[in-house]
Amino acid sequence: MNDIYEELLIKIAKHPMGAPRHPAILTILKELFTPVEARLASRMSLKALEVADIAERGEMLPERALFLLENMANKGIIYCDKAKGQVRYALMPPMPGFFEFSLVKGEDTPRNRKLGQLWDEYFTGALGDAMHATAVPMSRVVPIKKKVAYGMEIFPYEEAAEIVKKAEKIALGQCQCRFSVRKCDAPLDVCILLDNWADFLTDRNLARPIGVEEAIDALKRSEEAGLVHTTPNTKTPVPYICNCCSCCCFMLRGVTELGRKSLASSRFRAVVDEDACTGCEACAAICGFKAIEINDENTASVSLEDCMGCGLCTSVCPEDSISMIQRENAVIPYDKGAELMMDMARHKGALEPMKKG
């Protein structure tokens, strides 16, 4: 039976996000997949396939394969794509993937708490190094539009409110990272899912459908709690907006704990008006990247290397002495998600395995 889960892990590990072998992930797979589900999943692909193709790979009748695929999709451990009227199913990587989807409903049960602890153990022990071992930033920071320098254009993909306004479907779920790690009391109900992801998760009753106003309210509540907006490092489509904390988030911890550059900063950086700054330390307190300190002159000083351009510091400065200006050599997001994944795969030497997945 253990061989079934080893085979499934080998298949999932073909994704450029990585899935290194570790006792925690094997335990997670056994918790999420029954043996018969794991066997069929190990024959699936990282590319979406129709039921007939998966049934042939799994050497079973299509009716039986469909039953198992639907069970797995309802648990959020595989993905169901209904684009262009075709129903297809695909394996997902651990993150972003079946970690988020299996816990996004936010059911606080002993089993889910156990899974959360296992995911944190897996990230710390193996997955963190694997998923963040890339020079291609997989995610990007989206700045809050509090105080961007006058006359500077903000593109629609750089503003969280504009991203949700352009979405055809929006859903709200629970933050899986904070549920798992539990190092802070920031709000959980601020995980925003968009378009295809929202469609899949609401269809499976794993997330709650919401409108634009409630999504913008979630963004505001996140900013008030000092959470950083992040999305995939793409312009479109944007399937989610994470509202993250540096103490729990498996993406931000790649920067804050592992010191990796796997997160792209926004196009902006914070700058301080030293004449107006009173050294109150509010900006330093809210900066999860520890990019701000109070210098000997009792004014805030921003590290250009560490500032990720989230803009939270501008939201708490009582003197309005911090603003956002365009940084030099800003990382421009990829046009499409497929381009991002292919570039990550090239960098990690995983292009051929992913194609064969």
| Inside any domain, residue 279 | no
pLDDT digits (tens, 9 = 90+) for 264-296: 999 999 999 999 999 999 999 999 999 999 999
pLDDT digits (tens, 9 = 90+) for 120-175: 999 999 999 999 988 899 999 999 876 565 456 677 788 899 999 999 999 999 99
| Inside any domain, residue 86 | yes
Task: Report whether pLDDT(348) > 90.
Answer: no
| Inside any domain, residue 357 | no
Mean pLDDT of the chain: 93
Taking residues 302-320, report their average pLDDT.
Answer: 94
3-state secondary structure labels for all residues of the chain: CHHHHHHHHHHHCCCCCCCCCCHHHHHHHHHHCCHHHHHHHHCCCCCCEEHHHHHHHHCCCHHHHHHHHHHHHHCCCCEEECHHHCCEEECCCHHHHHHHHHHCCCCCCHHHHHHHHHHHHHHHHHHHHHHCCCCCCCEEEECCCCCECCCCCCCHHHCHHHHHHHCCCEEEECCHHHHHHCCCCCCCCCEEEEHHHHHHHHHCCCCEEECHHHHHHHHHHHHHCCCEEEEECECCCCCEEEEECCCCCCCHHHHHCCCCCCEECCCEEEEECCCCCCCCCHHHHHCCCCCEEECCCCCEEECCCCCCCCCHHHHHCCCCCEEEEECCCCCCCECCHHHHHHHHHHHHCCHHHHHHC
pLDDT digits (tens, 9 = 90+) for 46-69: 999 999 999 999 999 999 999 999
Predicted local distance difference test score (pLDDT) of residue 150: 47
Q: Which range of residues forms the domain containing residue 59?
A: 2-132
pTM for this model (two decimals): 0.93
| Inside any domain, residue 13 | yes
| Inside any domain, residue 239 | no
| Inside any domain, residue 189 | no
pLDDT digits (tens, 9 = 90+) for 7-44: 999 999 999 899 999 999 999 999 999 999 999 999 99
How many structural domains are present in the chain? 1
| Inside any domain, residue 202 | no
| Inside any domain, residue 68 | yes
Domain of residue 77, CATH code:
1.10.10.10
